[in-house]
Structures are given as structure tokens and as C-alpha cells.
A and B are shown apart, each in its own frame.
Chain A
């Protein structure tokens, strides 16, 4: 019941905020109030049931919807989804705080953000294939409009490109889901674990469209065409959600549905999924290095580090799977944080071109410090959150696919290369533009958006067990169901 309430509070909030009349201030405070509720509930769930998510009766619901086909309203939280469930509620709140660059039609903006939030929370808590798909698609129109209405001048083609690509993927995925449910005799995700009694050929035929759809959503590199325009055109607060959560709908689908439900079907594809992960890591790093635009650099860095999730998940061993589940969360924290800081820098200096920036450290010590922290986390430095998850993904990946694992490790060096280059160009050295003498550091609101993420990077860096502890039983259950180990 708590899960259902948490999922649908943003939807009610969306209706509420479109009805509220008032000035900008009212809209912002109402949105803050609405966004705080799911975060409080998710925090409560962590402390009350974190030790035993799967056993907590009041977290799950199972209501019959379409009896003959065994489709139901089934929600529940387990260790695989909880991290992202929590992060979704956190990042939405951060997105509300970071919405300072949105001036027009503010309450509509928040309403769309909250509809998307319901979809995202729902995906991470679904235990039914049809419900999963409905929530998955519920995010599509709001994200399209968020980018399309409030993005920069390139927003219209970017938004429709995003829409067409992901819709193509998700429709293919839907066909796979429906075939799986029909042949398996149920749409319940936990009951279908291990293959649902399907033969190898059927599993492969079904796994192919499902993997395709999910990999477009991630995006895995040959399917990533839509991403750059969308990331670069979005307003900052939309970026927080776009890079922090949306790719995880894809990776979570692989971790929670494709691999556990179709173990024999995905088996022939897994080496390729790991290889795509490596391509993401290396391609992302090299292309990031070439970007003249700071935001594009972060976007490609984000594509790159998503690759570790694919490598770790494809390994299907305890270390790799745990690493992949954790990397979803850590990637979300660091990429959201970097996009916010880049947004602040761009707003203050009026440019995002790396060549035009330089010497900002003297004028913006806090922003610089946080940018450095985020970049170091992204490089995978120890005692920062990404380290543990990347390391585990690589370890697991190496064990299952030595070549892919070894190449993935290369990614850490490459990311250090372009991040250090970026930091040195943007932050250090002499001030290149006299106009930068007068810029100020991040203001309190901006700090409020960054600080929680920075704190989480440190906390999860030092105590990764806070999350690994709750995801471990779920990972073991998956591996037991698919007969791996």
C-alpha cells in the first residue's frame, strides 16, 4: 500500500499544481511540498523495511485486473528496484529545486515533471509486465513536452527524435512482453522468473525485441543517436531526470526483466550486451574528449559510464550484478550533479564552450570544488560512490567475459583523461575573459540542489554497503532463479 501511495502521490500532485493559481513563488513552494512526500515515504521504507524488502507485506499489492490472461495490478519493491525508486524521488525534488531557469508556465512544467515521476516510480516498483509497460510509456509524453516546450532553440527536432527512437524501442518491447505473457500463462514478473516454462527458441525470439527496446532506451551506442540533441537542448532540471533516471528504465528492464525472465533467451546475446557496454565506455570517452561543448562532454561521459551497467549485468554473477544495480544509482547521482553545475556555469558565464572558459576557480570556488568532486567520482576514484559499483561491474565482467572486462577497465583511464583535461581548461589557469572577473559563486538555492548529491557521493563512497546490503538478497534470488552464480 505504501508503494502504491508513493507512486501515485506525484500524479495527484500534478493535478493539484495545475489547479493552484498564484505567482511563481507559490508554484515553486507547492512543487517542493509535493516532491518532498515521495522522498519522505521512500526514506521511511528504507529505514523501516530496508533489511527485508521482499518480506514486507505492506510494500506489495497484487490485484487481479484481467483474470483470463492473469494480468494484474502488481507492485512491490525489492533490492533491485529500491535504489532507483529512492533516487527517483530524490532527483525529482532536486529537479524542482534546480528549476531556476524555468520562468514560463511554471506550474505546467512541474505538473509534467510529476506525471513523469509517477511513471518512473511505477517502473521500478512494477511486478507485472503490462503494468511495467504502462508506467514505462507514461514517462514518454511528459519528457517530450518538457524538452520540447522549455528546451533551447534546437528543442523541437531533438524532442521528436527522442520520442520516435524510444517509441520504436518500446513498441518492439511491448510485442515481446505480450508474447512472453501469453506463452508463459501469466504476466506476473516474479512468477515468470527462470523462463516461465518456455523453450530456448521461444525465449530467444522474445528476448530479441525486448533487449532491442531496452538498449534503445539506455542508449547503447549504435542506438544512441537521439541522446545528444535531447541532453544538450533540455533545461537543467529536465537533464537531472533525463540523465539520472531515464536511462535506468532501460538498464533496470535488462536487470529486472530480460535476464531473470528469459535466461536462456538472453544467453546468446549477453556477450554482445557486454561488448556494447564496452563500446559505450570507450566510444563515450573518446567522443567526450572531442566535445567543444561542456554539456555535450557530460552527456557523452554519461553514455560512457552507463556501459559499466551493461557489462556488470551481462556477467550475471553476484559481483557483476550487484555492481550493475549499484551503478544505476551512483551514475544517477553523479551525472545529475554534473549537469546542474554545468548549468550554473553556463548561466553565469553565458557560454558552454570549453574553449571560451577558463580560470573560474578563483571566482567560483564552491562550484569548482563540486565540479571537481563530481568529475573525480565519475573517474571512479576510491571513497567516492562510483568506485565501488564500477569496480564490481568490471570484476564481474572480467570473470564472465575476460576480453570485455579488461577493455572496460580501460574506460577508467580514459575518463580520467578527459575529465582532468576539462577541469584544467574550465576551472584553472588564468581568467580568459575579463567579463568573468565579476561573476559570483553558486547562490544558496543552487547550493541546495548540489549539496545533497555531493553528500550522497561521499556517503555511498565510504559505505557502499548501505545499498549493497539491501540489494544483495534480491541479486541472489535472481541468480538462483536463472541457475547462474
Chain B
């Protein structure tokens, strides 16, 4: 397998990310302990360069498969690379102060860049074992990220729980992949598709079931979601925000690629499995979130629920809903990235107790408006970003022509209403309650503030570039 010039161009985002990963780590060595600013700056530069290279590849319409068709650079993969590097950009900006305060800024930033690299590789993988390696590259640094905050006990606890469940999930996933490989006799998705075009063998069915379960762990879908609240509560805020968005989006991407490119013959099987998981996930996520008083845990369960919403789009990839279903997953991932990242960052500025948001509109009106926009977007109220994600999932469901998917869409509608009280509990605290005394915000939080404001603006003006997004995702290269 020769490495051609085209392959180097196609892999430019990954190459840039790996170069900066080492530069940041070494930069930390030379800059010394006190210069977390330099390290942060390098990391920001790295994510920005990665984003720019992916954007250029997308703009010039670069397409190709490399290494014996096991690595695809298409619009679909590039779209997810943009989401991953874009969220990483805002995350490293927001994380600089925290990373500096731990004294281990270079390590923290390196871990984030390692997740970025893994997630970007993941979005392009067309090989069962390659994708497993990429998934582990994205996951293993995230265990360390969750446990990074040594000043809090919950951090170590969350990291431990995440590690144990994550390892089990990886083995289940690997087992499923091996069984699929055993049936197909090849790890390449093209050959897998040929092998699975006929009737499904029992081994193949078990393989698909185990693989979907393994992914359900990684995507915190019910009933494999229980690690999520502890991990997100323990993790430093910036890590929780990043992990709830970027690796998750890439995992959705690779799952979609396996199912659509590798297992189109078994569509009826996996859409049914996923529809059931989706319905369960939405209800479990939302009903659990209703009971939370801690905003971090609430957002963790909310991220479970949103995995459920996206999985409805997976279930809708059948009948007439194929194209819209894929589109919905892309649109939802982008919409979710901006709103959820922002909502998590706001915790850093306000506090993780729901009560600490009381009267925020009087004390910090701009921040209250931003958080209000994130909450409305998470509910799915137009004109904010989340609405378009949900609308496209419903559209795909309407086109799918399957009764089970109609039921899932019905569950999505009901769940949107169930989610309203907990998201708007925050809005009520911010706008309708009186401020509590004390609890001043830390001073040098300019990075977090910048990220929150920028993400709130993106969440709000999503409607303006939505038409472009639909055109882009319509030609995603998948299908």
C-alpha cells in the first residue's frame, strides 16, 4: 500500500493534529510550569489549523479512499472532522485557565488533541479493526481527561467508573466486530457489505447485536448509559463538555458508516434494534434528568436523551427516509455540538448547583441570555439550533414508512415535552428568581466567556446558515 501524495493531502487534518499534539507536549517542557498561556496558545493554533485544513479539503471537494479502501476522505468524514476540531477549538480556549491551575497544562491539552486525532481518524475509517484502534485512541485519553482534576475526589471516581465500563464496552464491541469479520472474511466494509447482502446468519446477527451494544456504551445509550452522569460530574467541566460532543459525534459517524456502507443488507435488523434502543434512551435520559438538582448531572442525562434523539434518525434510515436520515444525523450533530458545549461551559462561570443560576439575569444579563439560548436550543424551540436537528429527525421518520419508527418519532415528541421542565427550570432560576448573595465568578475567565458567547451566537444564528448546511449534508458522500 503505497502512500501517495493525495493520501498526504487527504490526511492533512490528522497530520496537523498529531504534529501539534507533540508540539504542545514538548512546548510544555520548554516553556516551564508557569507558562500555561503559551501551551494554550499552541493548542488553540493547532485546533484552528486542523479546522482550517479540513475546511479547505471540504471546500475544494477533496474525495478519495486510501490504504486499500480502508480509509475514506469524503464530505461526510470531513463534516465530522470540522465538528471535532471546531469543538476542540472552543474547548482549549475555555480550558486554558483550568489547565494552568492544575500545573499540568501541556498534558491536559495533549490529551484533548489526542482525542481529536482519534475522533478524526474514526470518522474516516472503513476497516473494522482500524476503526477499533481509532476508537481506542479517542477513548483512552478521555479516561485520563475525566480523572484529571486531582483536587476533587469525584474526578478520580468518575474516571475509574468510566475506565471500567469503557473497557467492558470495548471488549463487547471488539467481539461483535470479530464475529462480523468471521462471517465476511474481510475487515473492509466493501467486502462486509457483499457478505451481508444475503440472508442474515445467526453468527452475523449476534455480531451486529454485540457491535451495536458496544457502540451504545460509547454513545451512552440506555441501558448502557449508567457511567455517564458520574463521569461527567467528575470530569473537569471543559473535558465533560468536549467528551459529550466531539468523540460522540465521531462515534455516531463511524457507526453510521458501518451500518450504511457495511451492512445495508441487514437494514431491517439494525433499524429495529436501534429504534428500540432509541425509545428507551430518550425516556431514561429525560426522566432521570428531571430529578437532578446538579446542573452537571442534568446535562449528563440530557446528553443521554440527545443520543436517543439521534438514534431515532438511525432507525429512520430505511424506505424513503435514507437520505434525510443521514442528513438529520449530520445536522443534529452540528446543532448539538454548539448548544451542548456552550451549556457545559456556562457551568464554569456560574456553578454546578441549579440554585447558583438564581437571578443571573439581574447580575450577569448577557450570560443569562446565552444560557437561555442554550436551554431553548436543547428543548428544540426555534429559531435555535436544536430545533433544526429535531425537525430533520422527524422529517426522516415521516419518510421512513415504518410503524416502529413512527412510534419512535412519537416518543421523541413526548420526550421533548418531558425535557421542558428541567431545561426551563434553569431559565426560571435565571430570569424569575432573585439572585443569591455571594458566589462571585472567578476573575480571569475570559477564555470561557469568549467560548460561551461565541457558541451562543452560533446557536442563535444557526438558522441563517442552515440552508448551506442542508446543501452540504445533502451531498455527504455516504449513500
Say yes or no for B12: interface residue by CB 8 A criterion: no
A67 to B395, CA, bound (A): 15
**With an 8 A cutoff between CB atoms, is B31 at the interface?**
no
Q: Is the CB of A133 within 8 A of B421?
A: no
CA distance A247 to B380 in the complex (A): 22
- Indicate if A383 sits at the interface (CB-CB under 8 A): no
CB distance from B381 to the nearest CB of A (A): 5
Partner of A130, one of B391, B420, B431, B432: B391
Instruction: Indicate with 1 or 0, residue by residue over A131-168, a CB within 8 angstroms of chain B CB atoms.
Output: 00110011011001100110000011001100110011
Give Cα A163 to B398, complex, Å: 26
Q: If A66-B467, A171-B416, A178-B398 touch, does A145 touch B383 (CB 8 Å cutoff)?
A: no
Interchain CB contact under 8 A, B398 and A182: yes
Q: Which of B443-470 contact A (CB under 8 A)?
A: 463, 466-467, 470
Tell me if B289 counts as interface (CB < 8 A to partner A).
Answer: no
Does A44 make an interface contact (CB < 8 A)? no
Q: Are A160 and B421 in contact (CB under 8 A)?
A: yes
State whether the Cβ of A407 lies closer than 8 Å to any Cβ in chain B. no
Measured CB to CB, the closest approach of chain A to B59, in angstroms, equals 20
Min C-beta distance of A483 to chain B, whole Å: 26
Interface membership of chain B positions 465-479, coded 1 if the CB is closer than 8 angstroms to chain A and 0 otherwise = 011001100100000
Known A-B contacts A164-B420, A168-B417, A178-B391; the reply to A148 vs B398 at CB < 8 A is no
Chain B residues with CB below 8 A from A145, complex form: 431
CB 8 Å contact bits of B360-396 with A (1 = contact, 0 = none): 0000000000001000100111110001000100110
**Residue ID in chain B nearest A134 by CB atoms:** B382
Chain A, range 163-218, C-beta contacts under 8 Å to B: 163-164, 167-168, 171-172, 174-175, 178-179, 181-183
- The closest CB in chain B to the CB of A135 belongs to B382
**B432 A159 Cβ-Cβ under 8 A:** yes
A137, B399: Cβ atoms under 8 Å?
no
A66 interface neighbour in B399, B416, B424, B470, Cβ under 8 Å: B470
Query: Nearest-CB distance from B299 to chain A (Å)?
Result: 20
B409 contacts the other chain (Cβ, under 8 Å)?
yes
When distances are taken between beta carbons in the complex, the residues of chain A under 8 Å from B399 are 182
Q: Please tell me if the beta carbons of A137 and B431 are within 8 angstroms of each other in the complex.
A: no
Residues of B within 8 A of A130 (CB): 391
How close is A120's CB to chain B, nearest CB, in angstroms?
Answer: 15
Closest to A168 in B: B417
Contacts of A138 in B (CB 8 A): 382-383
**Which partner residue on chain A sits nearest B383 by CB separation?**
A134
Contacting A at CB under 8 A, from B394-427, are 394-395, 398-399, 409-410, 413, 416-417, 420-421, 424
Q: How far is the CA of A140 from the CA of B431 in the complex (A)?
A: 15
Is the CB–CB distance between B376 and A141 below 8 Å?
Answer: yes
Task: Tell which of A133, A149, A167, A182 touches B395, judged by Cβ atoms closer than 8 Å.
Answer: A182
Report chain B residues within 8 Å CB of A167.
379, 381, 416-417, 420
- Hey, which chain B residues are within 8 Å of A183, CB to CB? 398
Contact B413 A175 (CB under 8 A): yes
Contacts of B394 on A, CB cut-off 8 Å?
Answer: 174-175, 178-179
Across the interface, A141 reaches (CB within 8 A) one of B381, B421, B470, namely: B381
Chain A 61-83 per-residue mask, 1 if CB under 8 angstroms from chain B, else 0: 00001111100000000000000
- How many of chain B's residues have a CB under 8 angstroms from any CB in A? 30
Given contacts A149-B432, A160-B428, contact A175 B409 (CB under 8 A): yes
Shortest beta-carbon distance, A129 to chain B, in Å?
11
**B381 x A137 contact (CB < 8 A):** yes
Once bound together, how far apart are the Cα atoms of A68 and B475, in whole Å?
12
A39–B456 alpha-carbon span in the complex (Å): 32
What is the CA–CA distance of A178 and B421 in the complex, to the nearest angstrom?
25
Determine the distance from Cα of A175 to Cα of B416 in the docked complex, in whole angstroms: 12
Contact of A148 among B379, B381, B431 (CB under 8 A): B431
Residues of chain B with a CB closer than 8 A to A174's CB: 391, 394, 413
Contact pattern, B 169-197, Cβ under 8 Å of A = 1, otherwise 0 = 00000000000000000000000000000
Given the known inter-chain contacts A145-B431, A149-B431, A155-B432, please indicate yes or no for A137 contacting B382, CB distance below 8 A: yes
Closest chain B residue, CB of each to CB of A180: B398
- Compute how far the CA of A183 lies from the CA of B395 in the bound complex, rounded to whole angstroms: 10
What's the nearest-Cβ distance from chain B to residue A170, in Å?
Answer: 9
Residues of A within 8 A of B420 (CB): 163-164, 167
Report yes or no: A68 in contact with B474, Cβ–Cβ below 8 A.
yes
A182, B393: Cα distance in complex, Å: 12
Decide: B417 and A164 in contact? CB cutoff 8 A. Answer: yes
Q: How far is the CA of A155 from the CA of B383 in the complex (A)?
A: 25
Q: Given A149-B432, A156-B432, A178-B394 in contact, is the A68-B470 Cβ separation under 8 Å?
A: yes
A160 and B424 form a contact (CB under 8 A): yes
Closest residue on chain B to residue A64 by CB atoms: B467
* Inter-chain contact A148/B432, CB cutoff 8 Å: yes
Which residues in A have their C-beta under 8 angstroms from that of B431?
A: 145, 148-149
Bound complex: CA A138 to CA B383 (Å): 7
Q: How far is the CB of A307 from chain B (nearest CB, A)?
A: 26
25 contacts between A and B (CB under 8 A): A65-B467, A68-B470, A68-B474, A130-B391, A133-B382, A134-B382, A134-B387, A137-B387, A141-B381, A144-B424, A145-B431, A149-B432, A155-B432, A156-B428, A156-B432, A159-B432, A163-B424, A171-B417, A174-B413, A175-B398, A175-B413, A178-B394, A181-B395, A182-B395, A182-B398
* 3 closest cross-chain pairs (CB), A and B: A134-B382, A179-B398, A168-B417
A134-B382, A167-B379, A175-B394 known, 5 other contacts, Cβ within 8 Å: A65-B466, A145-B431, A159-B432, A179-B398, A182-B399
